[in-house]
């Protein structure tokens, strides 16, 4: 598969937490030749299985399909839309941005007049779709409809890409890449490619998927912050320095054996890697760790600048390192 064009296709398909049908359909079509079985569970997780030949460990690899966004809660007489946030929106980043609804209605997200940036919150924002009245707005939008910051992706200098929502469509693209790399490799254990839902609202989907799969080993593919932007808090993780092997984030401490195994695999295969300790934020890793009787978990992260803004930035070479590292690791243990 062409990584960049898959990434672009996934990014351009809006799918807020809890409304992942469209992206799921797209991913299903891409992953189906790489797996033996596919199913969608009650919450909407897409679970694709590559069957093993017998014995071996059950390995679960997960990337989330959902993204942050807005839900329409009320339509004013003026036709303006009141919204609630879905996931951790940064309003300073979203203010005056372009938005688009799940049904393709375009608009822009605006703070009320006289509200200072420090006081930005959902109640002080509205979406203007250009409607002249409540009636006109109601013809286009219903309460409960979702909006996202308008997706876009472009290539920048140095093999880097910029746009949104790279969190976590780039993880999904990496997971698809891994599935392709493992397609023809006979492994003892089953490998589960899970495209999870509702990560941005509390890592909900991975919890139920892991409960059903009961993996021995689970690895999460998600983005992580970096310490290489101006004024950033100290963090030993940089764009372009390779796959980030997670040691901990605020929600999880990864299994030490998996961390070691991933690092050794990277060294053996000369794959560029770095270690990641994220002091804030959590990922599906923690949900997979404590579902049911628990699993040994790890995570390989794609270093990403400006997460949750309208312009997230990644280095494509890091994504390639992530795909190479996880597929080699699975070959080793699977």
Partner 1 sequence: MNDMKNSLSLIERLCGAFGPSGCEGEVASLIKNEIFDVCPDAKFDRMGNLIAVMRFGDVTASERKRIMISAHMDEVGFMITEIKSGGYLGFDTVGGISASVLAGRRVKVLTQNGLINGVIASKAIHHKDKKERQKAVDIDKLYIDIGACDKEEAEALVRIGDFATFDSEFYTFGEDLVKGKALDDRMGCAAMIEAMRRLKDSPPKKNIDACFCFTVREEIGLSGAKAAAYELSPDVALVLETTAIADIADAAASRRVADMGGGVAISFMDRSTVYSRELVDAAIDIAKRKGVKAQVKRYVSGGNDAGTIHKTAEGIKTLAASVPTRYLHSAACVANINDYFAQRDLCVSIIEEII
Partner 2 sequence: MLKILISEIMMKDLKRFIFSLCAVPSVSGFESRSTEALRSLIGDELEFVSVDGVGNHLFCKRSGKQNAPKILIDTHFDEIGLLVTEVLDGGFLRVCQMGGIDPSIMQASDVVIYGKQTLRGVVVSTPPHLKKDSDLPKIEEMLIDTGLSTDKARELIEIGTPVGFAPVYTELLNGRICGKSFDDKACAACAAFAIVNTPKEALAGDVYLLLSSVEETNRLGGAAAGAFSVMPDYAMVIDVNLARVPDTKDFETVEMDKGISISVSASTHLELTRLTEKLCVDREIEHSMIAAPTSTGTNAASVNLTACGIPTVDVGLPLASMHTYTEVVSMRDCETLVKLVGEFISSEEIAEKMNFSEVSFI
Q: Which positions are annotated as active-site residues?
A: 199
User: Between residues 43 and 277, which has the closer beta carbon with respect to partner 1?
Assistant: 43
The single residue among 29, 42, 230, 293 that binds partner 2, judged by CB under 8 A, is: 293
Q: Which of the listed partners (partner 2, partner 1, none) does 27 bind, with a CB threshold of 5 to 8 Å by partner kind?
A: none
Q: How far is the CB of 254 from partner 2 (least distance, A)?
A: 8
**Cis omega before residue 215 (within 30°)?**
no
Would you tell me the crossing angle of helices 3-11 and 166-182 to the nearest 10 degrees?
140
Contact segment (CB under 8 A) with partner 2 among 48-56, 185-193, 246-254, 326-334 equals: 246-254
Greatest CA separation found in the chain? Answer: 65
- Nearest of 316, 230, 233, 243 to residue 276 by alpha carbon: 243
* Separation between Cα atoms, residue 37 and residue 302, nearest integer Å: 27
Q: How far is CA 61 from the centre of its chain?
A: 13
* Separation between Cα atoms, residue 39 and residue 16, nearest integer Å: 20
User: Between residues 97 and 282, which has the closer beta carbon with respect to partner 2?
Assistant: 282
Q: Does 27 bind partner 2 (CB under 8 A)?
A: no
Radius of gyration of the chain (CA): 20
* Separation between Cα atoms, residue 273 and residue 181, nearest integer Å: 19
Beta bridge partners of 192: 49, 60
Q: Does 104 bind partner 2 (CB under 8 A)?
A: no
User: Between residues 5 and 78, which has the closer beta carbon with respect to partner 1?
Assistant: 78
Q: How far is the CB of 212 from partner 1 (least distance, A)?
A: 4
Q: Applying CB under 8 A, which residues contact partner 1?
A: 17-19, 41-45, 71, 73-74, 76, 82, 84, 86, 122-123, 143-144, 198, 201, 204-205, 207-209, 211-212
Q: How far is the CB of 290 from partner 2 (least distance, A)?
A: 5
Q: Does 259 bind partner 2 (CB under 8 A)?
A: yes
Q: Under a CB-based contact definition with an 8 Å cutoff, are residues 226 and 239 in contact?
A: yes
What b/e sequence results for 116-145 when a residue is b if at least 16 CB atoms lie within 10 Å of its CB, and e otherwise?
Answer: eeeebebeebbbebebeeeeebeebbeeeb
* Separation between Cα atoms, residue 47 and residue 45, nearest integer Å: 6
Q: Under a CB-based contact definition with an 8 Å cutoff, are residues 193 and 50 in contact?
A: yes
Q: Which of the listed partners (partner 2, partner 1, none) does 36 bind, with a CB threshold of 5 to 8 Å by partner kind?
A: none
User: Between residues 127 and 245, which has the closer beta carbon with respect to partner 2?
Assistant: 245
Q: Does 252 bind partner 2 (CB under 8 A)?
A: yes
Residue positions counted in the chain: 334
Site size for partner 2 (CB under 8 A): 28
Q: Under a CB-based contact definition with an 8 Å cutoff, are residues 41 and 51 in contact?
A: no
Q: Which of the listed partners (partner 1, partner 2, none) does 279 bind, with a CB threshold of 5 to 8 Å by partner kind?
A: partner 2
Q: Does 290 bind partner 2 (CB under 8 A)?
A: yes
Q: How far is the CB of 210 from partner 1 (least distance, A)?
A: 10
Q: Does 217 bind partner 2 (CB under 8 A)?
A: yes
Residues that bind partner 2 (CB under 8 A): 216-217, 234-236, 247-248, 251-257, 259, 275, 277, 279, 286, 289-297
């Amino acid at each position: 598969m062409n990584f960049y064009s898959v990434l672009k296709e996934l990014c351009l398909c809006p799918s807020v937490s809890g409304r992942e049908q469209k992206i799921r359909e797209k991913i299903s079509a891409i992953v189906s030749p790489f797996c033996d079985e596919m199913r969608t569970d009650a919450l909407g997780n897409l679970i694709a299985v590559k069957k093993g030949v017998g014995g071996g460990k059950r390995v679960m690899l997960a990337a989330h399909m959902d993204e942050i966004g807005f839900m329409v809660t009320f339509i004013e007489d003026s036709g303006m839309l009141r919204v609630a946030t879905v996931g951790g929106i940064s309003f300073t980043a979203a203010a005056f941005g372009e938005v688009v609804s799940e049904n393709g209605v375009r608009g822009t997200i605006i703070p009320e007049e006289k509200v200072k940036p420090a006081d930005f919150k959902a109640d002080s924002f509205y979406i203007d779709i250009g409607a002249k009245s409540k009636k006109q707005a109601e013809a286009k939008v219903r309460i409960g409809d979702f909006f996202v910051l308008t997706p876009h992706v472009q290539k920048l200098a140095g093999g880097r890409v910029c746009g949104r929502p790279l969190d976590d469509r780039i993880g999904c693209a990496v997971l698809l890449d891994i599935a392709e790399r493992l397609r023809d490799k006979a492994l003892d254990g089953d490998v589960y490619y899970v495209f999870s839902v509702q990560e941005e609202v509390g890592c909900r989907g991975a919890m139920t998927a892991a409960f059903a799969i009961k993996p021995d080993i689970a690895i999460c593919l998600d983005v992580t912050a970096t310490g290489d932007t101006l004024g950033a808090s100290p963090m030993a993780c940089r764009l372009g320095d390779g796959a980030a092997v997670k040691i901990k984030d605020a929600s999880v401490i990864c299994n030490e054996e998996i961390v070691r195994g991933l690092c050794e695999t990277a060294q053996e295969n000369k794959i560029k890697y770095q270690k990641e300790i994220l002091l804030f934020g959590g990922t599906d890793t923690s949900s997979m760790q404590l579902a049911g009787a628990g699993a040994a978990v790890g995570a390989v992260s794609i270093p990403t600048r400006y997460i949750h803004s309208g312009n997230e930035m990644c280095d494509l070479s890091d994504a390639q390192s992530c795909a190479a590292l996880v597929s080699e690791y699975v070959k080793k243990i699977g």
